[in-house]
Amino acid sequence: MLDAVDVIDRKIIDQLRIDGRRSFAQIGRYVGLSEAAVRHRYQRLVSLGIVRVVGLSRAQAVGEVHAHLTLRVRKTTVDDVAKALVPLEEVRYVSACVGSSDIVAEVRCASAAELAEFLTETIRRIPGIDSIRSATLIDVVKDSYLWDGFRQGS
């Protein structure tokens, strides 16, 4: 995977992290390539599934409820539980972990009532969840998709 992404690809991705709608011509001027060449590289990265450009709305701003869940798994594999979470509409993000929890997930619901239904009914139907802890996000202090390591990366 690392071989599929060169330094120029990283610069293009980096530009799209700052502003996902920045024009290919603008990015081209920054990385020293033609608009067509940037477009071609972008399309390649998309087709390889390395990058996706998306509009992310802030839950509070659109009147939704956003919660983070940490799960402990018992009597089955983490993979089984993670895969059972993926198709659920309310679940936006699922990642397996090592550390304090086995799975970290993000949930978005239209209202507190829907979140309650999700936490007390929907998710309880998945076998193998030993414990669920939830944290409702009340205010976003930083929300950046840039990170230093990416720029310094090989």
Residues at the site binding other proteins, with contacts judged by CB under 8 A: 1-2, 5, 13, 16-17, 19-21, 48-58, 61-62, 68, 70, 82-83, 85-87, 89, 91-101, 104, 133-150, 152-154
For the chain, what's the residue count? 154
Give min distance, CB of 85 to other proteins, in A. 7
Phi, psi (deg, nearest 5) at residue 11: -65, -40
Q: CB nearer to other proteins: give 64 or 117.
A: 64
Tokens standing for residue 57: 């709305």
Closest C-alpha among 127, 109, 129, 130 to residue 118? 109
Residue 121 CB, nearest approach to other proteins (Å): 19
Let me know the angle formed at the C-alpha of 136 by 18 and 88, rounded to the nearest 5 degrees. Answer: 80
Task: Quote the least distance from Cβ 1 to other proteins, whole Å.
Answer: 5
φ/ψ of 37, rounded to 5, equals -65, -40
Q: Which is nearer to other proteins, 94 or 129 (CB)?
A: 94
DSSP conformational letter for 119: I
Closest CB 107 distance from other proteins, rounded Å: 11
